[in-house]
């Protein structure tokens, strides 16, 4: 079955760190760009970061650049998001999303169920 | 990178058609045919409805259609049904270093 499964969310204090994981199944993981997209409570979708598959090129939203790092382990078909210096405004459900075609992020044709990150003291 | 501009809400009666607009700039919507649309029901993950402006993935109803003119993309839903009540988001590839941007979302109410 084609699916994405996120994990690693939880409650963290401001200034703390958290590492999210996204396990992929049912497709050739390193053939596709992968992204993280987040949604704050009651708010809209916000693209966070992308990893361009086998090319290893990374992209970040201005709001997280310098604090978050996206990476992957192709041997385990898993995408990661290392989040440092967390702020209250990073509180959101974080979705993992697969690009619909190759190494570009033109659109997302497969989404995980999301993992909730809460930044609060 | 500023979000693309969508109306906060639209409404329609069953059987009617509605259109949701998505306005960007020449660096995103106007510069590429890489606009996509997503449907999100409460508590659920987004679902791809339209990609590359006007293409539907297999399994998506042909009641959903997309188009673009200059810097504005549109999603049209015809023959509105109760289950269409959801939030809708547009997204576009962008030439900025961020590469992808979403609209603020539109809540569709089926009266």
Confidence (pLDDT) at A105: 82
CB contact residues (below 8 A), chain A span 4-33, against chain B: none
Confidence (pLDDT) at B96: 83
First to last CA, chain B: 35
Per-residue pLDDT band for A71 (boundaries 50, 70, 90) equals: very high
CB contact residues (below 8 A), chain A span 34-63, against chain B: 35, 37, 44-47, 50, 59-62
d(CA A113, CA B41): 12
Which distant-in-sequence residues (6+ apart) come within 8 Å of B29 by Cβ?
A: B4, B22, B23, B35, B68, B71, B72, B73, B92
The answer on pLDDT for A103 being more than 80 is: no
The answer to whether the CB atoms of B93 and A105 lie below 8 A apart is: yes
Q: Is the dihedral of CA A35, B38, A1, A95 positive or negative?
A: positive
Tens digit of each residue's pLDDT, chain B (111 residues): 568 999 999 999 999 999 999 999 999 999 999 999 999 999 999 999 999 999 999 999 999 999 999 999 999 999 999 999 999 999 999 988 778 999 999 999 999
d(CA B16, CA A4): 35
The answer to whether the CB atoms of B51 and A109 lie below 8 A apart is: yes
The answer to whether the CB atoms of B91 and A45 lie below 8 A apart is: yes
Nearest CA in chain B to A59: B98
């Amino acid at each position: 079955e084609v699916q994405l499964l996120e994990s690693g969310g939880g409650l963290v204090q401001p200034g703390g760190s958290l590492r999210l994981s996204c396990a992929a199944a049912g497709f050739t993981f390193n053939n596709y760009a992968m992204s993280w997209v987040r949604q704050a409570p009651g708010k809209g979708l916000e693209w966070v970061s992308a990893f361009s598959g086998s090319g290893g090129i990374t992209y970040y939203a201005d709001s997280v650049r310098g604090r978050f790092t996206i990476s992957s382990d192709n041997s385990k078909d898993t995408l990661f998001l290392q989040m440092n210096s967390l702020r209250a405004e990073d509180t959101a459900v974080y979705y993992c999303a697969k690009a619909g075609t190759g190494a570009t992020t033109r659109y997302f044709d497969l989404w995980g169920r999301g993992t909730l990150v809460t930044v609060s003291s | 990178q500023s979000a693309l501009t969508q109306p906060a809400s639209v409404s329609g009666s069953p059987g009617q058609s509605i259109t949701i607009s998505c306005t960007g700039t020449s660096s995103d919507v106007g510069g590429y045919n890489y606009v996509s649309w997503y449907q999100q029901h409460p508590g659920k993950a987004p679902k791809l409805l339209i990609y590359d402006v006007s293409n539907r993935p297999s399994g998506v109803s042909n009641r959903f259609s997309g188009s673009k003119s200059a810097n504005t993309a549109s999603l049209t839903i015809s023959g509105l049904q109760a289950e269409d009540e959801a939030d809708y988001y547009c997204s576009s590839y962008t030439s900025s270093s961020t590469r992808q941007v979403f609209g603020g979302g539109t809540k569709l109410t089926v009266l």
